[in-house]
Amino acid sequence: ERFNNAFPPDRSGLLIGRAELNQPMVSFLASDSPATRAGLQAGDIIVEMAGRPIGPNHPVLPLREMLRGAVGNTIDMKVRRADQVVAATIILENMYPASERKCPAPNN
């Protein structure tokens, strides 16, 4: 039954992972996604999201949840890239139809 549930929708095209010192970072960007259009790059270290400072050991799950908000919501971010802080605004959009987010049932 759980296999027929839709995955939580990703509306940003951004995958958050961890960098050195356990700092949340941009680990992957889908091509032609809201995150790439916002100017984010793989390897960017997330230092602020939705007005909240993000430091080492900050939980990643709440950040991912923000990226699953309603279509049209904006997420303001600041990332550290090399020696500078870069501001970016992601405008969330429906990237995939619900049918593409379902996990296939296991073959028994």
pLDDT tens for the chain, 108 residues long, are 455 555 567 899 999 999 888 999 999 999 999 999 999 999 999 999 999 999 999 999 999 999 999 999 999 999 999 999 999 999 999 987 654 445 555 665
CB 69 within 8 A of CB 50: no
**Quick one: pLDDT at residue 5?**
56
Residue type for position 10 = D
**Quick one: pLDDT at residue 78?**
98
**Quick one: pLDDT at residue 95?**
83
**Quick one: pLDDT at residue 9?**
76
Q: Which parts of 21-105 fold into alpha helices (H)? A: 34-37, 61-66
Domain residue extents for the chain: 2-93
CATH match of 2-93 with 2.130.10.10: no
